[in-house]
């Protein structure tokens, strides 16, 4: 399943919100940059999990190198 886990370095409490955006890297074509939808799946005190949904096949992304950025708000 296309998922990533991000550990918070300096916080021990759960954030109020996490925003994830897909970042296009130099290997991505225009189509590939648009078909992956990041979904914040789980938020905990020390980390969060994001999963990537494919908009073209309606399945979870598997075995794709993806880049993303996030903003966590406490």
Residues 13-45 pLDDT 10s: 999 999 999 888 777 777 777 888 999 999 999
> For the whole model, what pTM was predicted?
0.81
* Domain residue extents for the chain: 3-73
Which of 38-51 are b and which e, b meaning 16 or more Cβ less than 10 Å from the residue's Cβ? beeeebeeeebebb
């Amino acid at each position: 399943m296309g998922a990533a886990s991000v550990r918070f370095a300096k916080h021990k409490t759960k954030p109020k919100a996490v925003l994830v955006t897909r970042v296009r890297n130099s290997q991505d074509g225009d189509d590939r940059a648009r078909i992956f939808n990041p979904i914040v799946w789980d938020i905990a005190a020390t980390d969060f999990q994001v999963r990537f949904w494919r908009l073209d096949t309606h399945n979870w992304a598997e075995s794709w190198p993806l880049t993303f950025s996030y903003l966590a708000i406490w």
